[in-house]
Amino acid sequence: MRFLRELRSVLNLTVLVAGLGYFVDLFDITLFGVVRATSLRDIGITQPEEVLSKGILIYNCQMVGMMVGGLLWGVLADKRGRLSVMFGSILLYSFANLANAFAWDVTSYAVFRFLGGVGLAGELGAAITLVAESLPKEKRGLGTTVVATLGMLGIVAAAFVGQHLHWKTAYLTGGFMGLALLFARFKVSESELFTKKTDPSRANPLLLLQGGRFLKYVCCILIGVPIYFTTGILFTFAPELTAGLNVQGTVTAGNAILYGSIGLTLGDLLAGLFSQWLKSRKRAVALNLVGGFVLMLVYGLTPGLTSTTVYLLTFLIGIMVGYWAVLVTMAAEQFGTNIRGTVATTVPNFVRGSAVFAATGFAYLKGHISVPAAAITVGSICFGLALLALTRLEETFHRDLDYEESAPDAVPVGSSQPS
């Protein structure tokens, strides 16, 4: 009962609208992975090897767009406010998804996915920052968990819609959902921690390069890399991966993404609640990383599984790497108000963008070793770097967020800056 009372206490308009925005965000990000094969065949790409190579190219364009957009929207979030980013980004990615329904070749498809990626980059960071700054420290973990759990349902919706509607209709659905969400955004207020800042010019992203902040920033990114390795490689390319394992039955990318995303949704909820129970972000993420790594080895090294067992493994792996809300909350808590928007927006998008390197490494290695071995090699690197990076970050569960970052030779503004 106490837990339910605490959960109800964070279900305000800001949290719900942020969660719905993240739902649309993840719906649009996931959709290409689900409709990749059918959409490419409809625009004239029919050879299986080309479907894979062109799919990686378009996927990489989307992820590069998210890295570019992360920088753009992150700076704007600290200069102009969290809400302005939530409005601007949703307009761009909504129109880009509408345009994707009318792609006529690989080039146009890639350009529209790039623009969609730029737009999608602003949604999560601004939403998490707004929620984290609007709730008391003992409840902000619950608030961001609600946002992430609602968002992860967008992956489930994309997996379902992408398999049951024509791919053009699916893209139109994502675009119109985004435009509809704009009306709800008009009733959300800006963060008080942001509006009470006396000197907006202090929102200088170059502060990330000073005073040891850059290493902390890179570590935040590395911790999230296994999430997008999993969704970008293990789930999206499940048919190609399992073909080398003599799986009994047919494995489709749509079903792998569907069951994996259901696991991600449940995992995000469990990881958020677990971190609240432990009163520690780091320990919760560490347990998730170890569990995810072990299950990845089972998935990629066990031949002769049935397709049902493969889907069960994708579900369980999804649960283990479902620490997205905890990761983004932890990243936001590591830095002061004047660069928090930049961090919370760029970290998840550089995590997403890391899928470019994972996919490129996977594509290179599969030409020299088996497809499952290539996936395991890349995955081991991703999980190993994440665990190492986690040891370099401070615990932030009890941290007060009412402070600003200063240059090493300057006097801190606001509350005392944590060490």
**In sequence order, what E strands does 265-343 have?**
none
Q: What is the model's pLDDT at position 105? A: 87
How do residues 218-255 score in pLDDT, each as one tens digit?
999 999 999 988 988 888 888 888 887 778 888 887 78
- Give DSSP secondary structure letters for 104-147: -SHHHHHHHHHHHHHHHTTHHHHHHHHHHHHS-TTTHHHHHHHH
Burial class (CB in 10 A: 0-12, 13-18, 19+), 364: exposed
Q: 412 pLDDT exceeds 70?
A: no
How do residues 297-306 score in pLDDT, each as one tens digit?
998 888 888 8
Phi first, then psi: what are they for 394, rounded to 5°? Answer: -85, 155
How do residues 293-351 score in pLDDT, each as one tens digit?
999 999 888 888 888 898 999 999 999 998 987 888 888 888 877 777 778 778 887 88
Q: What is the model's pLDDT at position 60? A: 82
Q: What is the model's pLDDT at position 391? A: 92
Q: What percent of the chain has pLDDT over 90?
A: 14
Phi first, then psi: what are they for 320, rounded to 5°? Answer: -70, -35
184, two tokens: 């709800």
For the chain, report the end-to-end CA distance as a whole number of angstroms.
37
Helices 48-79 and 13-42, interaxial angle, to 10°?
150
308, two tokens: 């049902």
- Give DSSP secondary structure letters for 180-243: HHHHHHTTPPPPHHHHT-S-GGG--GGGGGSTTHHHHHHHHHHHHHHHHHIIIIIITTHHHHHH
Nearest-angstrom CA–CA distance, 330 and 319: 19
Nearest-angstrom CA–CA distance, 342 and 9: 28
Tell which residue, 146, 158, 115, has the closest CA to residue 29. Answer: 158
How do residues 29-74 score in pLDDT, each as one tens digit?
888 878 888 888 888 887 777 887 788 888 888 878 888 887 787 7
Q: Tell me the Ramachandran region of residue 81: left when phi exceeds 0, alpha when psi lies from -120 to 50, beta otherwise.
A: left
All structural domains of the chain with their residue ranges = 2-180+208-390
Tell me the three state secondary structure of residue 403: strand
Phi first, then psi: what are they for 162, rounded to 5°? Answer: -65, -25
Burial class (CB in 10 A: 0-12, 13-18, 19+), 416: exposed
For residue 360, give the H/E element and its range.
helix 337-365
- pTM higher than 0.95, yes or no? no
CATH architecture group of domain 2-180+208-390: Up-down Bundle (1.20)
Nearest-angstrom CA–CA distance, 46 and 359: 21
Mean pLDDT of the chain: 80
Contact 122, 85 (CB under 8 A): yes
Nearest-angstrom CA–CA distance, 182 and 171: 18
Nearest-angstrom CA–CA distance, 168 and 248: 32
